[in-house]
Amino acid sequence: MMPERLQIPHKDSSISPTSSSATPSPSSSSLQLSADAINSSYGDDETENTSLHPFQKIFDNMQRLNNVQEVLQSPYSHPLVIRAIRHMNQVKLEDLGIDGSYVQSLTAGQCMTVLESRRFDIAAFLLPAGFKLHLHDHPNMVVCSKLLHGSASIKSFSRVKKRKNGDVDARLEVDMQKSVTDEPWLLTPRHGNYHEITPLTECVMLDILLPPYDDEQRPCHFYHAVKKNVDESSESNYLLKRLTYEEQLQIELPYPVTYIGYRPS
Ligand SMILES: [Fe+2]
């Protein structure tokens, strides 16, 4: 990361009050591409080299990215995203240079940076049971996620309106469990951009962040979700209260550890 980027923002970091309307996703409510889309040949313009490491495939694919705005505008149908998800399905826990016994021995959350670049990052989060990845956002980013080990509860919110104080009127978009056998899933600028991950067992989650966090343009913020007393049909059923700097200091975050697995180049 982003691991290093999923940190407390500087105290003087500011956000510009904006608002946007969330519209229904063309995909399912789980913000997941269909298996047909993932397995189709859509967007392929060359034969896949099956001998390459999956991280190398992801890297080579992302190197083709010329216009990140195109991905941000149409993430569910963009060939780069579809290929990235297909390649994520080939990644195994052992590709990170660790095994299940290592994950079982965790006593606190860890994060590993597989790759950092100007256009995208790849990172893994290692979370023991009970270590919650606190509710946070991914401003103007697309994130592809895949569990490589264990299972977790995922809650994602979509922004309905951003308030001047940084709080967000939001709609609960996803509240479901994921396991290692599930397909990757997406969050986008408009759908599920605010999420929290609660491990049900010790788990490992792989993320591709497109583009990466940026302290100036795309800083990470943390929130506390408060359910509104509204009708279920209301557009916004949660208020995401942005944490103060002092409150953020109380959050336990995964700490960075050295990555020893395959490094694409
Ligand atoms: Fe995240």
Q: pLDDT at position 71, please? A: 94
- How far is ligand 1, taken at its centre, from the CA of residue 136, in Å? 6
Q: pLDDT at position 8, please? A: 37
- How far is ligand 1, taken at its centre, from the CA of residue 230, in Å? 27
Q: pLDDT at position 215, please? A: 87
pTM of this structure: 0.84
Q: Please spell the DSSP secondary structure of 7-23, one letter per residue.
A: SPPPTT-----------
- How far is ligand 1, taken at its centre, from the CA of residue 137, in Å? 6
- How far is ligand 1, taken at its centre, from the CA of residue 67, in Å? 22
Per-residue three-class SS string for 81-93: HHHHHHHHCCCCH
- How far is ligand 1, taken at its centre, from the CA of residue 50, in Å? 29
- How far is ligand 1, taken at its centre, from the CA of residue 193, in Å? 8
The span from the CA of 152 to the CA of 150, in Å, is 7
Q: For 217-245, b where at least 16 C-beta lie within 10 A, e where not — what string?
A: ebbbbbbebeeeeeeeeeebbbbbbbbee
The span from the CA of 85 to the CA of 22, in Å, is 24
Q: pLDDT at position 51, please? A: 86
The domain made up of 99-256 has a fold known as Jelly Rolls (2.60.120)
Q: Phi and psi (nearest 5°) for 149?
A: -160, 140
- How far is ligand 1, taken at its centre, from the CA of residue 194, in Å? 8
Q: What is the mean pLDDT of each run of 10 residues along the chain (265 residues)?
A: 40 31 38 57 58 93 91 94 95 96 96 94 96 97 97 97 97 96 96 97 97 92 96 91 95 95 92
